A and B are shown apart, each in its own frame.
Chain A
Amino acid sequence: MSFLYVHGGLTPAQWITLLPILILSATIVFVTGAIAIKRHHWWNATISVAGLNLALLPLFVHFWLPQLWTLPLPQTVTPLLGIDGYACFYMAMILVTALATATLSHAYMEGYNGNREEVYLLLLLSTLGGLVVVCSRHFASFFIGLELLSVPLYGMAGYLVKERRSLEAGTKYLVLSAVASAFILFGMALIYSQMGTLAFAEIGAHIGVIGGSERSVIVLGSAMILVGIGFKLSLSPFHLWTPDVYEGAPAPVTSYLATASKTAVFALLVRYFVEARAYQMPSLVNVLSALAILSIIFGNVLALRQDNLKRLLAYSSIAHFGYLLVAVIASGPLAVEAVGVYLLTYVVTTLAAFGVVTLMSSPYNDHDAEDIFDYRGLFWRRPYLTAILTVALLSLAGVPLTAGFIGKFYVITAGADKHLWLLLAAVVLGSAVGLFYYLRTMIQLYLRQRWVQKYSAPLNWAQGTGGAMVVLLMLAMLLLGIFPTPFIALVQAAGLL
């Protein structure tokens, strides 16, 4: 054990809190080796899923069985990573999302003729990046994590290399993501030039006493970082890549892109705003308000006439991140709680929606089942699968009994607490517009079919792991909607302040 105690090394407690990241890293090595030994789809997928579960185990015990064992929190592991309840909560969320994506990928990739195994490797790498991002409290780890999160996604989005739209999605995401990274780097450099530090907490400590031209450089730097984050979160007006990438990428990858990658970046945004005291820059908060309103308007309005389910969900995710920003702008402990609850409900709902799309699709049809007319009358063929998609759409629309309502309720609570009337008006109007396209899609599921359908999930869809995952997600949506108390307690325990 002596190597643990070398000068400047980590204490056992720090090693233990790092467990999820360490286990995941080990899994990546293991999967690489397993693929090298033998290409076997089921086997490699199982190793990945087992690794994800193992990484999740300490977090699971920490949150749900605290009487057995808890992680020694909070720990600062080198200046780069800070692991506290907040980080652990989002790590758990990202790991669960990755698990869902892995099982969905397994269902989806079964019909693919090319090399199916590397998608898990990319997924695990990206997940590792996500874990680093939510733990980071330093610009260096932030950037490393963000790149580790994004770079594998280029590969995942373009995974079906023989398909033009998938390749296009991968390329598009690569170019725009690289631009965003450049913006973030430049912003960091500007802040560093005035502050001489890259740690969030130190920036926050000094920001109050800095004035004049130095302050305006910092504001400029923060704004550039915000632009980069805006790209990653596809906030309007940086959203142009979103529908194309969502449409072109394979359905399970889209679900990962829409949930895990955005959750990680958003969790970081909130942490940065709180720890680096970005709230003390009113101009930044004004910019955020503008982004929120624009995202809500553009997201909802552009979704109105969409006949493509994946594009529709892309626009709807733009709007949802607009709602989330309202909670961020509200600031304070309630806002952090609102963000946590909203992200949880959003992730569960989006995964369920894309899960159904995945089960309906297979990569060797010429494209995914994404046209909403492909879903016409699905209820009369696959009633339970349709019920799941219905609940997901209602949840996205924020109707009671579903998770989305609790999320929307929290956002409005946070806004009403801080008297953000303009933003709340945007939320209300946006939700009203949003109803139109959610209902329009939903009713298609129930209308009687007029012609023979090209797309249907296999009859035994619920027996595979992907199907089981989607059923679980629906139960989670209903549970969150009807009895959210334990989840709220969880989010409250993972507060930032």
Chain B
Amino acid sequence: MILIWLFMVPFIGGLLCWQIERFGVTLPRWVALTTMFIVLVLSLYLWHTGDYSQTLLGSHGNGHWVEQFSVPWIPQLGISFSFGLDGLSLLMVVLTGLLGLMAVACSWKEIARNVGFFHLNLMWNLGGVIGVFLATDLFLYFFFWEMMLVPMFFLIALWGHNIPGGTSRVFAATKFFIFTQASGLVMLVSILSLVFVHYRATGTLTFAYDALLHTPMSAATEYWLMLGFFVAFAVKLPVVPVHSWLPDAHSQAPTAGSVDLAGVLLKTAAYSLLRFAVPLFPHASVSFAPVAMWLGVIGIIYGALLAFSQNDVKRMVAYTSISHMGFVLVGIYAGTEQALQGVVIQMLAHGISAGALFILCGEIQERLHTRDLREMGGLWANFSYLPPIALFFAAASLGLPGLGNFVGEFLILLGSYKAAPVVTIFATSGLILAAVYSLMLVQRAFLGKPKNNEKLSDLNAREVVTVVTLMLLLLGLGLYPQPVLDLSRASMAAVQEIYQSGSEPLAAASTTTTMGSP
């Protein structure tokens, strides 16, 4: 039952935000803050009380979710309103709650008009994301997957920035929507085909995740269906040839939208790969893995190179996201337990660090009224808090040991090396490129000769609390990641087992050929 509340609270809170605006402009902010706080507390309560050594999949699990809830929804089509929770989804929900709080906090000053409607969209978007993380019925999952787009569209289109010389915010929002929705429809075709394959094999029409898991199908069918899922996730992650919506969306979005987009929305794709694409189609995933990993490497290098050449700070951070998500893709398809655990840490660390960088971008923009790096320089002289904090998150982004990103990237590379050494060697270059662009950012924005010596208004208490919280969390994740690793171990071990089972027939085939050839 508590699972229902996890995603219902944002929806109800959102409606409340919208209506309460008539009694006062700051009320929606407080309602939204309370809403996300409740979500965070609920998820931490679940963390505290649940036994996360069990999961639906794998030999360690005992065949059911830690928490689950299910009622029939459209029984004619075998669709149910069912949710399940395990370590992986819990971590994602915690991240959503946390970044939701930050998103509300960082838009306190930035959003001045239509505050109620803004928070309605923000809350509904986060509610949809939580629904994605919890749904265990493929129809329901798709429902949330598509539903979270509309509020995001409004966030960008109505409260975004029109960058002089750039594309308009409506254009960016529309591009974002079309990219994700079109790829989503491809996934819908795949979902339905899978359901019918299952129906023909077993005679039961169902969209339930656990029922569809071991659907027998031919290798070609499995490959095509997997590709249908992969396209949707590749767009959202984003993987390089289909990434072009992301920099546009980020550069026009309001700060809260960017935090939400980079911190949480991109993670739904990585989560979905781990939860759906790999377990539903293990054999196809194994044979697709080399392609996916190379796509990941291309993303790492391409994102880093483009980040280096950006003048708009937010566009730059957007490209670093592409680079970091490349690591996630490599880790997922490496399929070793170390790499998968690294993926989890990387998702959390990137969510926090990219979110923080976007918050800082927003704060710089509020003060300088520009995001152009060419017009900055020497800001260290103008602020006393902001530059060191930005340096901290830039260091996190380059993978400095002691911070969360390092743990994630290190585990991914270590785990992938066993599976695909060449890919890993190329991926490692991403660390060097990350150092280059991160330090370059600090150099261009904060160091050098100041443009003028006047002190600009520094971070206020709200802003300091926001970013310092994120700093502490990132430090915690870097110095003592064990609680998180424990939480996700069972889920990741299960994914790794599925990987092995997926490669077994291939391995068997290769041994017979090697035995037969001499």
Seen from chain A, the residues whose Cβ lies within 8 Å of a Cβ on chain B are 394, 399-401, 405, 409, 412-413, 415-417, 424, 427-429, 431-432, 435-436, 439-440, 443, 446-447, 483-485, 488-489, 492
Contact = CB atoms under 8 A, between A and B. Distances in A.
Contacts of B143: 400-401, 405
Main secondary structure of the interface of B (DSSP, over half): helix
Contacts of B149: 399
Contacts of B174: 435-436, 439-440, 443
A148 B125 CA distance: 49
B30 interface: no
Contacts of B182: 428-429, 431-432, 435
A428 B179 CA distance: 12
Contacts of A424: 189
A401 B147 contact: yes
B74 interface: yes
A401 B189 CA distance: 19
Interface residues on B, range: 20 to 34
A483 B79 CA distance: 11
B147 A432 contact: no
Nearest to A413: B192
B446 interface: no
What 5 A-B pairs are tightest by C-beta distance, nearest first? A432-B182, A416-B192, A428-B185, A400-B147, A400-B143
A66 B27 CA distance: 49
Nearest to B197: A416
Interface stretch (B90-98, B150-158, B268-276, B428-436): B150-158
A488 B72 CA distance: 14
26 contacts: A394-B150, A399-B149, A399-B150, A399-B181, A400-B143, A400-B146, A412-B188, A416-B193, A424-B189, A427-B185, A428-B185, A431-B181, A432-B178, A432-B185, A435-B177, A435-B178, A436-B174, A443-B170, A443-B174, A446-B157, A447-B158, A483-B73, A484-B74, A485-B73, A488-B74, A488-B77
A488 to B, nearest CB: 5
Interface string B372-404: 000000000000000000000000000000000
A488 B193 CA distance: 21
Given A400-B144, A436-B174, A488-B77, 7 more contacts: A413-B192, A415-B189, A431-B185, A435-B177, A439-B174, A443-B173, A485-B73
A483 B189 CA distance: 22
B69 to A, nearest CB: 17
B75 interface: yes
Contacts of A443: 157-158, 170, 173-174
A431 to B, nearest CB: 6
B56 interface: no
B186 interface: yes
Nearest to B174: A439
B76 interface: yes
B417 interface: no
B150 A428 contact: no
A399 B150 CA distance: 8
Contacts, number: 78
A409 B174 CA distance: 22
Contacts of B193: 416
Given A399-B146, A400-B147, A439 B153 contact: yes
Among B149, B170, B181, the most chain A Cβ lie within 10 Å of the Cβ of: B181
Contact of A409 (B170, B177, B188, B196): B188
B181 A488 contact: no
Contact of B189 (A394, A405, A412): A412
A485 B170 CA distance: 36
A412 B228 CA distance: 14
A413 B77 CA distance: 10
A2 B423 CA distance: 91
B470 to A, nearest CB: 32
Contacts of B76: 485, 488-489, 492
B192 A412 contact: yes
A428 B177 CA distance: 14
Nearest to A491: B76
A90 B178 CA distance: 34
B196 A417 contact: yes
Contacts of B77: 413, 488
Contacts of B144: 400
A427 B182 CA distance: 10
Contacts of A417: 192, 196
Contacts of B73: 483, 485
A320 to B, nearest CB: 15
Nearest to A440: B174
Contacts of B142: 400
Contacts of A485: 73-76
B74 A428 contact: no
Nearest to A410: B77
Contacts of A432: 178, 181-182, 185
Nearest to B142: A400
A199 B188 CA distance: 40
Contacts of B196: 416-417
Contacts of A484: 74
Contacts of A488: 74, 76-77
A394 B177 CA distance: 12
Nearest to B75: A485
A391 to B, nearest CB: 10
Nearest to B149: A399
A439 B177 contact: yes
Nearest to B147: A400
A222 B74 CA distance: 38
Nearest to A439: B174
Interface in B136-191: 139, 142-144, 146-147, 149-150, 153-154, 157-158, 170, 173-174, 177-178, 181-182, 185-186, 188-189
A384 to B, nearest CB: 12
Nearest to B76: A488
A441 to B, nearest CB: 11
A483 B140 CA distance: 12
A428 B142 CA distance: 15
B502 to A, nearest CB: 24
B323 to A, nearest CB: 27
Contacts of A428: 182, 185-186, 189
Nearest to B144: A400
Interface in B333-357: none
Contacts of A401: 143, 147
A446 B158 contact: yes
Interface string B56-80: 0000000000000000011111000
Contacts of A439: 153, 173-174, 177-178
B461 to A, nearest CB: 33
A376 to B, nearest CB: 12
B63 to A, nearest CB: 29
Contacts of B186: 428
A319 B75 CA distance: 30
Contacts of A440: 170, 174
Given A439-B177, A443-B170, A416 B74 contact: no
Contacts of B158: 443, 446-447
A432 B149 CA distance: 14
A302 to B, nearest CB: 18
Interface in B252-279: none
A436 B144 CA distance: 21
